[in-house]
């Protein structure tokens, strides 16, 4: 019960890494608000699990690439669940194609879903955390901020922005007892891998010392560390559970 009576807001919380974090946080005592995009079945399953533990849960179907929906996500959380003690910016999308084939529309979508939403959802929660002089903000970037990734230039650019944003805000926030940190996971077995050629996936596994992708449940405990009192001395840090592919 490391998060007993806490409230956590998680973007992209219906499945994958976000879903694993939502369930683990609820198991540890937190009430949960999360958003998803047209993922009603998984959202219902996640919400039912959280409710079965006796926790409150709010699930919102929102496209957080717009500022309006970023504001709505937080305002409804405040209204129905309470002020977030913990924020996890996890939602993401990815396009895999050569740099020269990237379009402005795809670039804007990647930046808006990953970086813009992180900035403005955090800003809305931060204002509330300032009132309480307390909070934990956890951003999910990627190990690709260290290694780079061919055919994912806009994704890497957005995740690199999240990495830098984390460090900048951490320096402002720490004096108010608000801790801002970053998780840079390696490849995890999530729906973001759907549609990728199997040979590409097999080749990717071969360069990981553990020779496999992560289960989302192996990433979630890192978020729990940063969200709980166990992570009380982390400030602007980046933790990278990646099976040894990138040692940072």
The answer to whether residue 3 scores a pLDDT higher than 90 is yes
Q: Which two tokens stand for residue 207?
A: 């360069």
Residue 222: which of 10, 7, 80, 20 has the closest Cα?
20
Residue partners of 101: CB distance under 8 A and separation at least 6: none
The Cα 98–Cα 163 span in angstroms is 23
Longest dimension (CA), the chain: 51
**What tens digit of pLDDT does each residue of 40-95 get?**
999 999 999 999 999 999 999 999 999 999 999 999 999 999 999 999 999 999 99
Map tokens 């806490």 to a residue. Answer: 6
pLDDT digits (tens, 9 = 90+) for 102-135: 999 999 999 999 999 999 999 999 999 999 999 9
Identified catalytic residue from 49, 126, 155, 234: 155
d(CA 113, CA 116) in angstroms, rounded, equals 6
Asked if 114 and 145 count as a contact pair (C-beta separation under 8 A), the reply is no
Instruction: Note if 126 is an active site residue.
Output: no
- Residue 157 is predicted with a pLDDT of 97
The whole-model pTM stands at 0.96
Neighbour tally for 139: CB within 10 Å? 25
Cα–Cα–Cα angle for 63, 240, 220, rounded to 5 degrees: 60
């Amino acid at each position: 019960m490391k998060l007993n009576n806490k409230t956590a807001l998680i973007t992209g919380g219906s499945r994958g890494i976000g879903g694993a974090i939502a369930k683990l946080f609820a198991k540890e005592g937190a009430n949960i608000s999360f958003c998803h995009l047209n993922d009603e079945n998984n959202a219902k399953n996640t919400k039912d699990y959280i409710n079965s533990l006796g926790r409150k849960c709010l699930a919102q179907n929102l496209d957080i690439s717009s500022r309006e929906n970023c504001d709505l996500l937080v305002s409804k959380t405040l209204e129905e669940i309470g002020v977030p003690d913990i924020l996890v910016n996890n939602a993401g999308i990815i396009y895999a194609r050569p740099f020269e084939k990237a379009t402005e529309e795809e670039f804007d979508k990647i930046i808006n879903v990953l970086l813009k939403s992180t900035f403005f959802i955090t800003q809305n929660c931060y204002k509330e955390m300032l009132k309480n002089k307390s909070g934990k903000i956890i951003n999910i970037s990627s190990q690709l901020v260290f290694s780079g990734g061919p055919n994912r230039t806009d994704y890497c650019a957005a995740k690199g922005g999240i990495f830098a944003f984390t460090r900048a805000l951490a320096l402002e926030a720490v004096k108010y007892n608000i801790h801002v940190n970053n998780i840079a996971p390696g490849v995890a077995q999530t729906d973001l891998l759907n549609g990728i050629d199997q040979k590409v996936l097999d080749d990717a596994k071969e360069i990981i010392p553990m020779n496999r992708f992560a289960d989302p449940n192996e990433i979630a405990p890192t978020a729990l560390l940063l969200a709980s009192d166990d992570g009380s001395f982390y400030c602007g840090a980046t933790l990278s559970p990646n099976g040894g592919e990138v040692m940072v």
